[in-house]
Amino acid sequence: MLNASLHVETSDPIAPVHRRTFGSFVEHMGRCVYTGIYEPGHPTAGPDGFRRDVADLVRELGVSTVRYPGGNFVSGYRWEDGVGPRDQRPVRRDLAWHSIETNQFGLDEFMSWCRTLDIEPMMAVNLGTRGLAEALDLLEYCNHPSGTRLSDQRAANGHPSPHDIRMWCLGNEMDGPWQIGHLDARSYGRKAAQVARAMKMADRDLELVVCGSSGSSMPTFGTWEATVLEEAYDAVDHISLHAYYEEHDGDLASFLASAADMDGFIESVAATADAVGARLRDPKRIQLSFDEWNVWYLSRHQAEAAVHPTDDWRIAPRVIEDRYNVADAVVVGNLLISLLRHSDRVTAASQAQLANVIAPIMTEPGGPAWRQTVFHPFALTARAARGQVLRTGLTAPGHGTERHGTVPVLDAVATHDEENGTVSLFVVNRSTDEPLTLDADLRALAPVAVTDAQTLSDEDPYAANTLETPDRVVPRPAEETRLEGGRLSAVLPPVSWSVITLSTGVS
């Protein structure tokens, strides 16, 4: 059996736990919107067409923010198509995902959905086929109280109060050749800066996210961030990061170490942003918005698309509906550990996407909704992570991987909610075949009892939840967990993610 230890430091917390870390993403792609969150006529749908069974799962998931409406979709989107009487909305082709967009769900429906679930919207503007004028129009429609053409149009459409959207994304993945309206870094940086400055003239308290690289493997990674920020540093507040991970060729060990790549990605972008700020002599610190992340079997999707190309334009086709297994859930839990560990710089994040499309929630049209395996670590982390993120020292055996070199077999992060007297420890055993005994020195926090301990694992790391067996994989009590004299001991199964919550006796 493997052995590892950790200790926590209380004198110098990393940062507060940001509720925006637990964001999600809704794009007009596949069945994320139509037959996902929105399905008029479904047995659970209300008069607004929102699926209540899905809404209940979104609440359980603990989603705090949702980025909308894309994604690649936004670079060809006309927001005006999705407001006003539904029988007058145009039907258009979506070039990004090669589908038909009916526009029956649009901006106002999204905002109503957010309000019913107490979710903060993160709105993306189209900087692919559109630009400054259209972004300002959208901002006026959303945020101006009344007395102008577009604010009065919003009121006439049934929304007299402003939507008051605070966080805005300036386009999407503009470094990618696949993006409609793709630009080089200098051109995009200037366009984004121009739009950002004008938007803040209209509403000075906005938080604006400029596009970083769409992945750390992009050939322009690093130089893209530096060039874009040279143009827009003074006008924006965040720069975006996007990353997706998958198991390649049966290399489970490398896949389980994916968070090591996320760690390096975050630290590289933060260093680049700080270097630009230093050159510009600007004291402002650019924060990071990791507004697309997840497990996505992209290579499988690309291979299928190459073998089965289609010219069939369909409404809400079934695309990229990955079925997630135990190993995928363990990786998602570990990616959340990485995001929390970097809470001093990552102040917002969006798991992509929310329903059906590489999603924690799956649905059937007219039928049930269920939780994928990746639902559970997200929901439990969103529920348990409170207060401050603490620095955690680890001592663990090395774990060799082909893609990421040698990484610790254990990864962990701790949070401390001093006000409510709780400590939560999130831990991953990356070993593919050996259990791990953990000794955690928590004496600095004076814990008095373990109040909850749950582990997600299975003898079959490829076990999954399906329509037929929606609860095949669920978190189970971590029975081999003990607390004595401020030291916690636990046995972590191979390929496992666990959360252990303790009381400090202070409330």
In the three-class reduction of DSSP (H, G, I as helix; E, B as strand; rest coil), residue 203 is classed as coil
User: What single-letter DSSP state applies at residue 287?
Assistant: E
In 60-148, beta strands by DSSP E: 65-68, 92-94, 99-101, 120-125
Distance CA 68, CA 25 (A): 6
List Cα–Cα distances, 316 to 68, 178, 320, 499, in angstroms.
16, 20, 12, 37
- Cβ contact 24:459 at 8 Å: no
Among residues 39, 101, 173, 225, the one annotated as catalytic is: 173
Whole-Å CA distances, 201 to 121, 206, 238, 284, 480: 21, 10, 18, 19, 58
Side-chain-side CA neighbours of residue 471 (13 Å): 2
Rounded to 10 deg, the angle between the 326-341 and 258-280 helix axes is 30
* Length of the chain in terms of residues written: 507
Report the C-alpha gap between 53 and 113 in whole angstroms: 13
> From the CB of residue 170, how many other CB atoms can be counted at a distance below 10 Å?
27
Helix (H) or strand (E) holding 275: helix 258-280
Q: Tell me the residue type at 410.
A: L
Using alpha carbons, select from 9, 40, 43, 17 the residue that is nearest to residue 316.
40
DSSP state of 281: T
Q: Give the three-class secondary structure for 253.
A: helix
∠ CA 161-164-170, nearest 5°, is 140
Q: Measured in whole angstroms, how far is the alpha carbon of residue 197 from the centre of its chain?
A: 27
Told to judge if 173 belongs to the known catalytic residues of this protein, a careful annotator would answer: yes
- Using CB atoms within 10 Å of the CB of residue 372, give its burial: 0 to 12 exposed, 13 to 18 middle, 19+ buried: buried
The residue type of 503 is: S
CA dist., res. 398 & res. 412, Å (int): 15
| Cα–Cα dist 190/167, whole Å | 20
Instruction: Given the residues 39, 134, 207, 292, select the one marked as catalytic.
Output: 292
Q: Is residue 245 within a helix (H) or strand (E), and if so which, with residue range?
A: strand 238-245
First-last CA distance in the chain? 38
The whole-angstrom separation of Cα 255 and Cα 286 is: 30
Give the residue numbers annotated as catalytic, written as ranges.
173, 292
